[in-house]
A and B are shown apart, each in its own frame.
Chain A
Amino acid sequence: MTALLTVENLKTYFRTYRGLVKAVDGVSLHINEREIIGLVGESGCGKSVSMLSILQLIPTPPGEIVGGKVMFSGQDLLQYKANGERMSSIRGAKIAMIFQEPMTSLNPVLTIGRQLTESLEVHLNMEPHTASEKAVELLRLVGIPDAKNRLDAYPHQFSGGMRQRVMIAIALSCNPAILIADEPTTAVDVTTQAQLLELMQDMVTKTSTALVIVTHNLGIVARYAERIYVMYSGRIIESGLADDIFLNPRHPYTIGLLKCVPQLGETREEKKLVPIKGLPPNLINMPNNCAFLPRCDYSQERCRREPWPPLTLLEGQHYVACFADIQEKP
């Protein structure tokens, strides 16, 4: 299977007055056709920035994509101008994105209908009349009742879950090859979260779209993702199939994460949580060696001496970036 999109050694840095922040520091990943991928990590680990970099949505300055390649259908997207025509023909059309906060990502002064038809008219050159017919169909597909009359509604008249449904409709309107969902359900309740994720899974399966779910919730990736990337401090520290990551994790951070989240069905008598000691690192002026070192239980002399270990293949599709060979069940 050939990869639909390949990111090679992507580096996005932010120059702040307090120092250089390497938000994304050498991320490589690929997305295959029709695949559901999970990108997990805690806040500030660079998961959103790496996805925004793919679409060149990084505010410059202070941010800057300083290196790497984003290969999509034979072309390097980073060679395109961020606000140029060629990038615009990909952004939203071939690669679509859904953001965390559905209130701020929809324009409050435009009707839902206008926001849906805009991308159809721009990317697919549809006539306004056909576009609004298509918009009704899309709203119906994402489960909005009375779709025809809802076209004239404004975002504030919709609940959080409904707004996110509209976002999904907009994102899928041009039949993209890849849909990136950046924390799509963080702002909604758990039953709404289940509705939205089931909807997304259904829609991408129907339209053969590849889906990237960016989240901090390990449960969501375990339920939906086939392949998972775990990020820490701007780098991918472990990747592999869902079973590799959850049943046979090999990086101390992944192991730590799995041991510190409470799992439904386990009370405190049955499983004591083991927190990861210390704090997530401050990304300003980071040293060059492994960023997890100060919190790691398996650190060796080598980790202090040498720069960050590269991602190495263990078996199959399971990669890990750690010098220590750890075999520990979470």
Chain B
Amino acid sequence: MNQEQNQNVIEILNLKMYFPITRGLLQRRVGEIKAVDDVSFQIRKNETLGLVGESGCGKTTIGRTILRLYKPTSGKIIFDGTDISGMKEDRIRPLRSQVGAIFQDPYGSLNPRQTARTIVGMPLIVHDLVKKKNFNEKVEELFRLVGLDPSMMDRVPHEFSGGQRQRIGIARALACQPNLIICDEPVSALDVSIQAQIINLLENLQVQLGLTYLFIAHDLSVVQHISNRVAVMYLGRIIEITNSRELYSNPLHPYTKALLSAVPVPNPVIERKRMRVVLKGEVPSPADPPMGCHFHPRCNLATSECREANPTLRDVGNGHEVACFKV
């Protein structure tokens, strides 16, 4: 990871994704939800960027917009040197083989009527990446890669456990040897003892195949464990981004501090010493976010400046960026 460090796999510039709120028979537009509001970041080769935030903060929307399941309102998604944000569907299709996706629900994301062989092999057929006679061989190889027994290829999803299904999802995402894999809450639906198996698998595959991940999750301990850098989101904006060690040892944004302190650590000795910052109130509706800094109504450092202007991300050294006037 030394020479390749500066090579960006993907670069997001001022991405905005607004969803219209419509009303009535004529679908009159009465407002919009700013799910992603002016977000920029880049992911380097071989890196894992974690994206955390509470439900409704827009982290999943970012993942889906990068996959171009949505057409962004504005901004650029530069993938492999080309901007894909405004591209037409027929031109995006070949690019889709280069971005893999793993989803949260191992039950809902696999077609219950297809065999595991079809599910894992489908991307190969769609993108015409393998000759017919090599097909089985290739799928077998993918099965072994994710720790599944190839003899189970002809089973259908309900015959697998949750952890095994997630392995099938990973095998499918790896089929086309993508440059980037979007992992959207890949372990949240799993039991703790199975979670560790999948996290380790993702980590090992990354080392083995030189993968790049965008890891989206709400569980801060999991994200911090697997990521090199972490971006914290609040109401559609990234409010802090830094490497995962620094995020824990030196969080700067008041929201990041509160978020970290809300996560309990499985060690009573550490817990007794920890400061607990309990936030007041709840996350406001993204349809009607507060003016200025979105966090100001819940922030104990807020002043009139925060109510009026929106702080942008600025570098405070070592690539640690934070969007707050008070730090």
Contact = CB atoms under 8 A, between A and B. Distances in A.
Interface of A: 42-43, 159, 161-162, 189-195, 198, 216-220, 222-224, 242-243, 246-247, 256-258, 260-268, 271-276, 279-280
Nearest to B261: A194
A272 B219 CA distance: 17
Contact of A263 (B163, B197, B261, B266): B266
B282 interface: yes
A279 B163 contact: yes
B327 interface: no
Contact of B278 (A194, A261, A266, A276): A194
A221 B325 CA distance: 36
B234 to A, nearest CB: 10
Interface centre among A216, A257, A267 (most CB of B within 10 A): A267
Interface stretch (B86-94, B170-178, B268-276): B268-276
Interface of B: 54-55, 161, 163, 191-197, 199-200, 203, 218-222, 224-226, 244-245, 248-249, 258-269, 271, 276, 278-279, 282-283
A260 B225 CA distance: 12
Contacts of B278: 194-195, 198
Among B224, B245, B248, B267, chain A packs the most CB atoms within 10 A around the CB of B267
A257 B245 contact: no
A267 B48 CA distance: 12
Contacts of A222: 264-268, 271
A191 B259 contact: yes
A246 B54 contact: no
A256 B268 CA distance: 17
A1 B54 CA distance: 42
Nearest to A192: B282
Contact of B260 (A43, A261, A264, A268): A264
Q: Select the residue from B161, B220, B221, B225 with max chain A CB neighbours within 10 A.
A: B225
A285 B269 CA distance: 40
B279 A191 contact: yes
Given A194-B279, A262-B222, A271-B225, 17 more contacts: A161-B282, A190-B218, A190-B220, A190-B259, A218-B192, A218-B266, A219-B263, A222-B268, A260-B193, A261-B196, A262-B221, A263-B225, A264-B248, A267-B225, A268-B225, A275-B197, A276-B193
A194 B245 contact: no
Contact of B196 (A219, A264, A273): A273
Pairs A-B, 4 closest by C-beta atoms: A219-B264, A260-B196, A262-B225, A194-B262
8 contacts: A189-B55, A190-B263, A194-B278, A222-B268, A223-B268, A246-B266, A257-B193, A267-B224
B55 to A, nearest CB: 6
Contacts of A224: 264
Given A195-B279, A279-B163, A261 B221 contact: yes
A247 B271 CA distance: 13
A278 B245 CA distance: 31
Interface hub of B195, B265, B276 (most chain A Cβ within 10 A): B265
B192 A243 contact: no
Contact of A42 (B193, B197, B225, B266): B193
Nearest to A161: B282
